[in-house]
Amino acid sequence: MRVFAIETSCDETSTAIVDIPTRHVLALTIYSQYAEHAPYGGVVPEIASRAHLERLPALTTDALTQSGLEWADIDAIAATVGPGLTTALVIGSTFAQTLAVSLNKPFWGANHIEGHALSPLLALPNTQTPALTFPYLLLLLTGGHCQFVAVEGPGRYTTLGTTFDDAVGECFDKVAKILGFPHPGGPAIEACATSGHSGIPLPMPKNDTSLDFSFSGLKTAVKDLMAKPNPPPAADVAASFQTTVATLLAKKLGHALMQTGYTQAVIAGGVAVNQTIRAALQATCQAHGATFTAPPLKLCADNAAMIAFAAGLRAQAGLANSPLGTRPIPRWPLDAMSTSQS
């Protein structure tokens, strides 16, 4: 089964083709709209939608060319229908639904978070499939989420802990803004931190074994630090902030492994590209005798391969995907994708 998919939930326009049984990405295109949103200090939905519309036709033919396949070789057309920016979701899902109708193929509307949750199982072209099987412990790190999820199979998700306030990516973005870096903040903080020292003490909860998160105190501490008459160099603040987040996530992952008994941990989402965070989590897994799987960087950030895969795995397991005519679903938690509730 081969699935062609479109992802347009935020500021990345992406198309992909995935071979579901072998878990291999056959083609993947990603256009990041960072430069178009940069002057506004954040993602502007109207600009995102126009950019998606402009890029989708070429990225669609690019994916087919990359794969060396014909439309006749594709079994279904998928697209993200939520969660995300409504107008951006409308563009991608309308494009995909029109493609499905005109090619007389099934349309499968997918949940973006389910895509991230299953992405660690995927392999890029000419690479080996990860030695990862269900069940696994997922630490989801995106611009909108910071969650521990027990992933037992397609449509079998249990949230074990989540954030009380900001998501981890949101915290990177807000701290970057305080430091005067452009949006999105994550890449800017990681780049700047390489020339800084991470010795500035920042608040971290003590004796906290819960699997929930809170990032607002950390963000406020950086704000207060930078409001002082002689603030420390931005690179030192970036390095200290990044190390604090990595340490906090690694501690929580240790507690999650001990409390659940899982022996496989994975990370997913845009923040999972961060090398300091990856290294800290890898070390925790090693200390707990658990395996650690981090998707290739291209598959951490928003991409259509995870959308094709999520829709394809659900179909393969006999689970429903959103049908033709589905409206965008701007808020759509992963728990809603669990089989008991669908």
Instruction: Report the interface residues with ligand KG4, using CB under 6 A.
Output: 10, 142-144, 169, 172-173, 184-187, 190, 269-271, 273-274, 301-302
Stretch that binds Zn ion, among 19-27, 56-64, 187-195, 300-308 (CB under 5 A): 300-308
Site for Zn ion in 202-241 (CB under 5 A): none
Q: Which of 121, 302, 321, 334 binds Zn ion (CB under 5 A)?
A: 302
- Neighbouring residues of 192: CB distance < 8 A, sequence distance ≥ 6: 179, 181, 234, 235, 238, 239
Amino acid identity of residue 294, one-letter, is A
Under the binding rule (CB under 5 A), the answer on residue 111 touching Zn ion is: no
Q: Which amino acid is at 124?
A: L
Q: Least distance to ligand KG4 from the beta carbon of 90, Å? A: 18
Smallest distance, ligand KG4 to C-beta of residue 319, A: 22
Helix and strand totals (H; E) in the chain: 11, 10
| Contact flag: residue 49 with Zn ion (CB under 5 A) | no
Closest CB to ligand KG4 among residues 144, 155 = 144
How far apart are CB 143 and ligand KG4 at their closest, in Å? 3
Residue 37 burial (10 A CB sphere; 0-12, 13-18, 19+): buried
Binders of Zn ion among residues 121 to 180 (CB under 5 A) are: 142
- Phi then psi for 333, rounded to 5 degrees? -65, 155
Residue of 168, 207, 216 whose CA lies nearest to 189 = 168
Residue 82 belongs to what H/E stretch?
Answer: strand 76-82
Q: Which residue has the tokens 């996530």?
A: 249
Tell the smallest beta-carbon distance from residue 30 to Zn ion (Å): 12
Q: Which one, 187 or 196, has the nearer CB to ligand KG4?
A: 187
Q: Which is nearer to ligand KG4, 64 or 306 (CB)?
A: 306
Question: 247 to 266, contacts with Zn ion by CB under 5 A?
Answer: none
Instruction: Classify residue 258 by burial, with Cβ atoms within 10 Å: 0-12, 13-18, 19+.
Output: exposed
Interaction partner, residue 186 (ligand KG4, Zn ion, none; CB < 5-8 Å by kind): ligand KG4
Q: Where do contacts with Zn ion occur on this chain (CB under 5 A)?
A: 142, 302
